[in-house]
A and B are shown apart, each in its own frame.
Chain A
Amino acid sequence: MKRRAMKSLVWVFMTTVLVGALLIGSWPERSRPSTAAERIERISTQLRCPTCQGLSVADSDSPLSRSSREEIARQVSEGRSDVEIRSFFVERYGPDALSTPSGNGFRALAYGLPLAGALVLLLVLALATRRRRYSRAAAAPTAADRTLVLRALTNRANGP
């Protein structure tokens, strides 16, 4: 009983650590308002370079990326929000303009599939643990088994 309680405590501790780490990791860093330069940098990294493979507007030095950075800077200075600036690019280049897929329609699969996979994995693990526990319980010798074994051993010791 004490062992089972200890086991539960370990599970609770591990879950708390996992959830806590995920929460801290996904918590937006907003202790102070961003400067214009930080916003330009952040938005540039969130947009894909229209002419290159696997580079963001911030990383690329292609003419279009340079023009895009200038456009971001211009819109930041005009007081537009990050969402409005990102929408400006999505309206012109399509949803592919974003370096991270949007959570709508077919692109939501990018978020949904790993989550579904993790849930299935957890379910499989839970089922496997349960089955193992049952099989172990079934394999444990009963009092009758012990008596039988004891009797057989005694018979063997006494000889035929």
Chain B
Amino acid sequence: MIDPSVSGPRPNRARWIAFGVAILVVALVLVLGSRPAAKSTGVATPLGGKEAPTFMGTTLDGGAFDLATLRGRYVVVNFFATWCTPCREEHPELRKFAERHGRADGPRIVAVAYDENDIGATRAFFAREGGGWPVVISNGDRIAVDYGVRGLPETFMVNPNGKVVAHTRGQVTADQLDKFMSTAS
């Protein structure tokens, strides 16, 4: 025979445990669900809002480049390699952006060749596809680590104060770059 005084409280306790577990699950879903989802473009970077790492290097035409000399205007820092197909596909968009902003005080593009062993290929690519912006061919690997680059192509927009205001992973378009500038200013 079952003694009700012994079996009585058990379902009650089980109910409380189930209730507690349910609250925990709901809390976990809320915490995880409220985290911002990763976007395909305009990805947040830990460098966002911070000073852009300054860099110097030798350009494709043998000249010297120093990012600090471009302070006072928007700068698009584009990491690329000629062996990277999305980088090659992105190139016309960068050219379009450069053509749109040809004025003297307009934004500038600087390309950083990353993991590029064949400088001849880079030179041939720019001669064929156009693009009159400086292409840094030395220290590319170090500059990439300094910017927290994870893959190619990757683009950072630096504002006139030298701060990183936008970042994209993957191909960027001229319209996106314009949008970044208008949002940042």
Q: Which residues of A contact B (CB under 8 A)?
A: 50-51, 63-64, 66-68, 70-71, 74, 90-94, 106
Check A67 against B46 for contact (C-beta < 8 Å).
Answer: no
Report the separation of the CA atoms of residues A51 and B31 in the bound assembly, to the nearest whole angstrom: 27
Bound Cα distance from A64 to B148, whole angstroms: 9
Return the 5 tightest CB-CB contacts between A and B, nearest first: A92-B148, A67-B141, A63-B115, A94-B46, A50-B150
Q: Are B142 and A70 in contact (CB under 8 A)?
A: yes
Which residues of B lie under 8 Å from residue A91 when comparing CB positions? 46-47, 50
The interface residues of chain B, by DSSP majority, are classed as loop
Contact between chains at B145 and A106 (CB < 8 Å): no
Answer yes or no: B147 CB below 8 A from chain A CBs: yes
Contacts of B129 in A (CB 8 A): none
Residues of A within 8 A of B144 (CB): 64, 67
Tell me the residues in window 123-148 of chain B with beta carbons closer than 8 Å to chain A beta carbons.
Answer: 141-142, 144-148
A112 → B minimal CB distance (Å) = 13
Cβ of B149 under 8 Å from chain A: yes
Does A66 contact B151, Cβ atoms closer than 8 Å? Answer: no
Q: Is the CB of B47 within 8 A of A92?
A: yes
What are 11 A-B interface contacts by the 8 Å CB criterion?
A: A50-B149, A50-B150, A63-B114, A64-B144, A64-B145, A71-B145, A91-B50, A92-B47, A92-B145, A92-B147, A94-B148
Q: Mark B54-75, 1 if CB is under 8 A from A, else 0.
A: 0000000000000000000000
Residues of A within 8 A of B142 (CB): 67, 70-71, 74
With both chains docked as a complex, state the minimum distance between the C-beta of B46 and any C-beta of chain A, in angstroms.
5
The CA-CA distance from A2 to B87 in the complex, in Å, is 80
Chain A, interface SS category:
helix
List chain A residues, Cβ under 8 A from B151. 51
The residue among B114, B144, B151 with the most chain A CB atoms within 10 A of its own CB is B144
Would you give the shortest CB distance from B48 to chain A, in whole angstroms?
Answer: 11
Q: Given A63-B115, A64-B150, are A93 and B141 neighbors across the interface (CB < 8 Å)?
A: no
A74 to B150, CA, bound (A): 20
Given that A51-B150, A90-B46 are known contacts, is A68 also in contact with B145, CB under 8 Å in the complex?
A: yes
Distance of B54 from chain A, by nearest CB (Å): 14
**Cβ distance A109 to chain B, nearest Cβ, rounded Å:** 9
Complex Cα spacing A106 to B31, Å: 9
Whether A93 lies near B148 (C-beta < 8 A) is yes
* Chain B nearest Cβ from A64, distance in angstroms: 7
For A66, the chain B residues whose CB sits under 8 A away are: 141
A68-B145, A70-B141, A70-B142 known; A92 and B46 CB under 8 Å?
yes
- Using Cβ atoms and an 8 Å threshold, which residues of chain B touch A94? 46, 148
CB within 8 Å of A: which B35-51 residues: 46-47, 50
Q: Are A63 and B46 in contact (CB under 8 A)?
A: no
Given A64-B145, A92-B145, A93-B148, output 6 extra A-B contacts at Cβ < 8 Å: A51-B150, A67-B145, A71-B142, A91-B50, A92-B47, A92-B147
Closest to B151 in A: A51
Complex-state Cα separation, A66 to B148, whole angstroms? 14
B148 nearest CB neighbor, chain A only: A92
| A92 CA to B164 CA, complexed, in Å | 12
The smallest C-beta distance from B51 to any residue of chain A, in angstroms, reads: 11
A51-B151, A63-B115, A106-B31 are known contacts. Are A92 and B141 too (CB-CB below 8 A)? no
